[in-house]
Structure 1
Amino acid sequence: MARKRQKPLPNSLIVTQANELVEVRYNLPLGEQRLVLTMISRIQPDDADFKPYRVSVSDFAEFLGISRDSAYAECKKITAKLLTRVLHIREEGRLLQIGWMSSAEYIDGSGVVNLTFDPLLKPYLLQLKSSFTSCKLTMLLSFKSQYTMRVYTLLKQYEKLKVREVEMESLRDILGVRKDLHVEYKNFKINILLPTQKELAEKADLMFEFDEIKYGRRVGAIRFRISTKNPAIPLLPSDDMSAVNEVSYLTLELSSVNRFSDPSVQDLLSLISEQHRNKKTVHTALEIFSKRHGFDYVKRNILYSNAKADKSYAGFLNNALKADWGHDWDLEQQALPKKKPMEVWERNGFVSREQYDDFMYRKQMENYGLAIN
């Protein structure tokens, strides 16, 4: 039977999730993921508790592009499966295994299904004031791949930071890739990474290039370099209207901080400590030498300066870039006995994961115009 044309959804529907939920490990097929996102978009900012969220079976059929004749049966199949799906939320000192929904209620003759979230999901979906990510439901439902949905949300979380680095093991977990599927990186790249990159480039308001970070001979992490097609005003919590008047100021401020269009310069800036990152001499040096000698040349001299500079960091870095002081040092580092691969926070120059997480959280809040004491 012919598939129904999808019914346009209001642009005002927003999917807002705590960042813990954005990064949580789960595996949902496309239809189930679309249903969950539609439910989340029905939550209002001032909701103190979950309600039964009503989804019309006919609307469900239209935005999924399936026949109305089979919609009722298909919807029941999807909700039955969804009731068995488990999320694995890891927090300090505990692992929470939890289902998305506690119930799905079909009332004969009503043409709707009442869906209820599991109550233990409240901290991750209700009255979020900080550490959250928001996406338009219309954008998420436009994707044809469950992996594109997840990657888009992960990158949206770091959109203003321009760079996100994820360990391969964590990325596979977050995307819900089975242990026996696409085991070799080349297969993961061909079947998941490249199709996701293509779909985002075609449909989304952001896209990415990526670098393969190797641990010895294997690819151990992916560095996503995020670029925005149509820069938009950061989404603000609906109940924080005091920030709305500052949107123009925030937009100008963010555009001045991220003034380099070359993603490689943004990547290099991320290697430099925050106290030196905004110095004009540092910006200029990175831009000139990356164009002249390439990314790896500049990177090794930044890392050398991070290890060796004592007083004037900017002056030391400029001299290192001119003379390539980092060349021999980099060779010496490679010759050292191999250690356990460094964590993301270590490679970015932080002294602990807690410091790195706090830094990323504060950056996210700045993007929403929220001051953190």
Structure 2
Amino acid sequence: MVSARYALPLGEMRLLFTVMSKVQPNDTKMTVYRIPVAEFADFLGVAKGSAYEEMKKITHSIVTRYVEIKSPGRLVQTTWMAQAEYVDGTGMVDVQLSEAMIPFLLNLKSNFTQYKLTMLLSFKSQYTLRLYMLLKQKRDHNPYAKTYDFELSELRKVLGVSIEAIPRQDKFDKPQAAMELYSEYPDFKRRVLETAKKELSAKADISFEYDEIRHGRRVASISFRVFPIQRPELFLQQPLTPAQTTLPGLDSDLDLVATLLSFVPEAHRAKKAVRATIEAAEQQQGFDYVKRNILYSNAHASKNYAGYLSGALAIDYGHDWEIEQQQAAKTAAPAAPPAVTLADLNNLINEIKALQQQSKAQGSAELWQQAELLKAEFAQKREMYDAANADKEDEAEA
């Protein structure tokens, strides 16, 4: 199952592992796994008040998700879950797995302690989780290998970045369109490999270095060197609580939510629904993901900004738009650029984040003050950027 081809967003993967932790050897397709929605909200990173609706979205999606599992002489095509049932007033969701999935999940569970399952649930990137499982499997099966090599095209499929089309078989089926996420290798390297490497180094019992194997100028394969990390907390006698899944001594948000809110039009910044949506999405998908969808919503939302932003964050409307913006910037004539560019603002954001993280890690008030000064500079440049672009919009309307 580790090598199966599937694409699950992080929230759905967390739900799957939560259910997996409850699977028992004698379970059947009729076994019901009861999950308290309020408790799962901690792993989703959403306010408990909105957890019920968020959970409904996740279960609605995962019961239609297709997975293909290959083994010698055998191919299983199935869905993850058979159904999810909500009973009013209980605060619970009752989940039933597809019968074909139970033996795979039971076998997978036997390789992870409850504490390591908590570690998996703490990952903020779905690619961190997938790559961890893949490298862990390879290392456990062949611990003396110096490297584990994957063709890039196959690695993309296994990680759910390259998604094959699945046609509709009947009127009840949900077809799946072919998709290529992060089709440019530099984007794949930054958003998948480097993100996973950083997160595993901070939280997991293994991490990795990697080499790019090229055919000419093209990266054809990735060669991973996997090494263990001793983490005593993974062998505690009591399961970890959700509050213990972040690094000790570091705040979980590092003021990122406040920074993201600065991108939101002023008329909507104080809305609780907007803030809650941004907080949840930042914890699940990361800063850059949320930022591009805020900017996309700013450019496209005409009515009900909060609802439009929620939809953009759920489906990643801003992904293709961001690529188009980048390509347009490359081909645009360099004459008469704005005094402040979006790249300038992005660079400032990255500097602020880096200083905040260093300040937290080193306990340095001086570094934090530098970050505060940059935040003031960012606010000024943001006003200049907004004013310049407002002038352009007025000219276009005229």
Identify the TM-score tier after normalising by the shorter chain. Answer: 0.5 to 0.7
Question: Deviations for 1:252-279, whole angstroms, at most 9, x for unmatched residues?
Answer: xxxxxxxxxxxxxxxxxxxxxxxxxxxx
C-alpha distance in structure 2 between counterparts of 1:72 and 1:229, whole Å? 37
Shift of 1:216: 4.1
Look up the match of 2:188: 188
User: What is the deviation of 1:89?
Assistant: 1.6
Q: Describe how 1:358-373 pairs up with structure 2 within 5 A.
A: none
- 1:251 maps to what in 2? none
For residues 212-237 of structure 1, the C-alpha deviation after alignment (integer angstroms, 9 at most, x for no partner) is 122344222211111111178x99xx
Superposed CA RMSD in Å reads 2.6
* Distance (whole Å) between structure 2 residues aligned to residue 186 and residue 77 of structure 1: 32
- What SS does the corresponding residue of 2:78 show, helix, strand or coil? strand
Tell me the amino acid that sits aligned with residue 91 of structure 1. S
| Secondary structure of 2:136 counterpart | helix
Question: What SS does the corresponding residue of 1:190 show, helix, strand or coil?
Answer: helix
Q: What does 1:261-272 align with in structure 2 at a 5 Å threshold?
A: none
For 2:119, the aligned partner's letter is M
Name the residue aligned to 1:170. 154
Aligned with 1:77 (options 23, 34, 57) = 57
Contact 1:159–1:227 (CA under 8 A) maintained in structure 2: no
Distance 1:122 1:142 in 2: 23
* Offset from partner CA, 1:125-146 (integer Å, 9 cap, x none): 23x4x99743611111111101
**Native 8 Å contact 1:133 1:156 kept in 2:** no
Q: C-alpha displacement at 1:101, in angstroms? A: 0.1
Q: Which amino acid aligns with 1:68?
A: K
Residue matched to 1:47:
26
- Conserved in 2, the CA contact under 8 Å of 1:87 and 1:97? yes
Q: Which residue of 1 aligns with 2:208?
A: 208
Amino acid at match of 1:28: L
| Secondary structure of 2:6's aligned partner | coil
Structure 2 matches for 1:58-207, cutoff 5 A? 58-93=38-73, 95-126=75-106, 128=107, 133-134=111-112, 136-160=116-140, 161=143, 163-178=147-162, 179-207=179-207
Distance 1:154 1:133 in 2: 13
Q: Is there any run of 5+ residues in structure 2 with no aligned partner, and where?
A: 163-178, 236-398
Q: Cα 1:177–1:61, aligned 2, differ >3 Å: closer, same or farther? A: same
The answer on whether the counterparts of 1:40 and 1:125 sit within 8 Å (CA) in structure 2 is: yes
Tell me, in whole angstroms, the C-alpha distance in 2 between the residues paired with 1:36 and 1:186. 30
Q: Is 2:12 the partner of 1:32?
A: yes
Q: Distance in 2 between matches of 1:132 and 1:186?
A: 36
> What is the Cα deviation at residue 124 of structure 1?
1.1
Q: CA deviation at 1:92?
A: 4.1
| TM-score normalised per structure 1 | 0.52
Counterparts of 1:225-264 in structure 2, within 5 Å, are 225-230=225-230
**Per-residue displacement from partner, 1:109-162 (whole Å, max 9, x unpaired)?**
111111011001133123x4x997436111111111010010111122133526
Q: Percent identity?
A: 46
One-letter code aligned to 1:147: Y
> Letter of the aligned partner of 2:183 in structure 1?
V
Amino acid at match of 2:195: P
Q: TM-score, normalising length from structure 2?
A: 0.49
1:241-320 to structure 2, matched below 5 A, reads none
Q: Residue 37 of structure 1 aligns to a residue in which SS?
A: helix
Give the secondary-structure state (helix, strand or coil) at the position aligned to 1:134: coil
2:3 to 14, 17, 23: 23
* Alpha carbons of structure 1 residues 184 and 118: separation in structure 2 relative to 1, 3 Å: same
Give SS of 2:139's match.
coil
Q: Which runs of 4+ in 1 moved over 3 A?
A: 91-95, 130-133
Question: Which runs of 5 or more structure 1 residues have no equivalent in the other structure?
Answer: 1-20, 236-373
Q: Which amino acid aligns with 1:210?
A: Y
* Contact 1:89/1:95 (<8 A) preserved: yes
Q: CA deviation at 1:201?
A: 1.0
- Determine the C-alpha separation between the residues in 2 that align with 1:85 and 1:125: 16
**Greater RCO (Cα-Cα under 8 Å, separation 6 or more):** 1
CA contact (8 A) 2:150 2:223 kept: yes
Task: Decide whether the 8 Å contact of 2:67 with 2:79 is kept in 1.
Answer: yes
Secondary structure in structure 2 of the residue aligned to 1:224: strand
| Corresponding residue number in structure 2 for 1:256 | none
Counterpart Cα distance in 2 of 1:231 and 1:109: 41
Partner AA of 1:173 in structure 2:
K
Q: Distance in 1 between matches of 2:197 and 2:102?
A: 32
Deviation at 1:93, TM superposition (A): 5.0
Q: Distance in 2 between matches of 1:212 and 1:26?
A: 24
Matched residues in 2 for 1:216 and 1:131: separation? 42
Letter in 2 for 1:134: F
Whether 2:244 is the aligned partner of 1:223: answer no
Q: In 1, Cα distance between the equivalents of 2:110 and 2:17?
A: 15
